[in-house]
Amino acid sequence: MLSRLERAKQFLPFDALKGLQDALREKEVEYVEMIELSDDKKEELCRKLQILYVGETIYVTYYNKNHYTKIKGKLLYINPLKKSINVSKIEIPFEYIKDIDVA
C-alpha cells in the first residue's frame, strides 16, 4: 500500500491549469522605472546614431515593458521623423534607448 506522500508524488507532474506556471514566472519579473539619461549620455547616443549604417549588426539596450532589454540585430533603418530605429524588425523610440554598441 502507498503512503499518503507517495500517492501525492504521483500527481506532481500533472498540470491542471495549462500555462499557470508560465503566468506565475511572468509575475516574478522585477519591474524597474526608466532612468533619465544625462545630457552627456544623450549626446553620446546621438553621435553613435550618426555613424551607424543600415545593415550593421548592433546591440541595443532599451526600455521595454517595465524593464530593460538588450538585443542584438541588424539595423534596418533610422527614422528621424518618428525619432526611432528599427533593429531586426523591432521599432525602438530614441527616448527608450539606454545604450548602443556595434557588434
For residues 50-56, average pLDDT: 94
Above 90 in pLDDT, residue 59? Answer: yes
The pTM (predicted TM-score) of the whole model is 0.70
DSSP three-state, residue 73: strand
Contact between residue 101 and residue 58 where contact means Cβ atoms under 8 Å apart: yes
For residues 59-73, average pLDDT: 94
Indicate the CATH number of 37-103 among 1.10.10.10, 3.10.129.10, 2.30.30.520, 3.40.190.10: 2.30.30.520
Rounded-to-integer distance, Cα 58 and Cα 94, Å: 15
Contact between residue 97 and residue 86 where contact means Cβ atoms under 8 Å apart: no
Higher confidence at residue 2 or residue 75? 75
